[in-house]
Amino acid sequence: MDTRSFIIQRQIHWAKRHGIPLSPAKSDPTQVGDDHVLTRGLRAYTKDLRSNLFEPLSRNARVAFSRGDGDEMEDKMRAVHSSSALGVNLFHYWHQRGLLADLANVLEIPSPRISGGAFEEKRPVMTNPDRKVFPRDPNLDFVFTYSDGGTLEVAVECKFTEPFGQKHDGLKQAYLDQESLWKSIPQLHCLAKEISPNDECFVYLHAAQLLKHILGLLHRVEMRSSGKTCSARLLYLYYDVTGAEGRSHAEEVEQFAALVRKQFPERKPIIFQYTTYQEALMRLAMKHRDQHPAYLDWMLERYL
């Protein structure tokens, strides 16, 4: 069984163990996001969104997802293998209880002075982009915001099945045509040229997406710094798997991280880091299970 199918079948069996009815996607899965390609007709979608989440979405979270570009609350988040549902199940609980600092601590990102968090934040790569050329801004799965410190924000890109069993798009030429985007990041510019218009360098990692996130975060740092030294971080949070595909994906993640470190050896307006869901959940369980047993038992039973 291939890696993608293995992850999906594990989640299907989780639903069956708990008596959660599943159905096929309501719409053509090839039209609702690349983490749903190849699932046409597969009974892998909960009949209602609530069945796929630990707790109902807050009003603010619903508004955020409704404004996003991915129609997350239709088919995508009902999929048992949905990366957006996995992200919600991790971040929503701690955000709702004012405990984002505890989550940040186990994710090994700055935890002091967190001022808030939000789902589906957008970060344009330039001021007033031409919407005929750049119709959409990079969409971030979750963002930690900070006050009165060197860290402006930490953006999180969440992955579940997406690295496996599909071809990722390269970087569109339109980004390379904007030379001003790359003036301060020549080494990442070289990478951008290598993966445009097609990415023949990375098989599992969607490097073009991460580059666009970095451009959006860099633009925000430059607009908000006002002479002060500040930085933003991009955290790649992914679901680890055993086997050759999992190892290759992890190697590509480190390869990309090394390129970003090389670009920013001293002055670091952008910091890229990564961790796995399994590591994060185990650290949460070790530190906080006594205070949050029902939640952490639910997460560990489902995702480990």
Strand pairing report for 151-159 and 45-46: unpaired
Spatial contact of 94 and 103, defined as CB atoms under 8 Å apart: yes
Strand, helix or coil for residue 291 = coil
Spatial contact of 293 and 244, defined as CB atoms under 8 Å apart: no
The predicted pLDDT at position 49 comes to 96
Strand, helix or coil for residue 132 = coil
Record the pTM: 0.94
The predicted pLDDT at position 266 comes to 78
Burial class for 180, CB neighbours closer than 10 Å (0-12, 13-18, 19+) = exposed
DSSP 8-class letter at 57:
P
> CA 303: distance to chain centroid?
16
The predicted pLDDT at position 167 comes to 92
The predicted pLDDT at position 151 comes to 92
The predicted pLDDT at position 26 comes to 78
* 237: β partners: 158, 275
List the pLDDT tens digit at each of the 304 positions of the chain. 899 999 999 999 999 999 999 999 876 544 444 444 445 679 999 999 999 999 999 999 999 999 876 555 667 899 999 999 999 999 999 999 999 999 999 999 999 999 999 999 999 999 999 999 999 999 999 999 999 778 999 999 999 999 999 999 999 999 999 999 999 999 999 999 999 999 999 999 999 999 999 999 999 999 887 667 899 999 999 999 999 999 999 999 999 999 999 999 877 899 999 999 999 999 999 999 999 999 999 999 999 9
Alpha-carbon span 69 to 91, nearest angstrom = 19
Alpha-carbon span 108 to 177, nearest angstrom = 36
> CA 149: distance to chain centroid?
24
Spatial contact of 135 and 172, defined as CB atoms under 8 Å apart: no
The predicted pLDDT at position 119 comes to 98
The predicted pLDDT at position 150 comes to 87
Q: Which two tokens stand for residue 7?
A: 């992850």
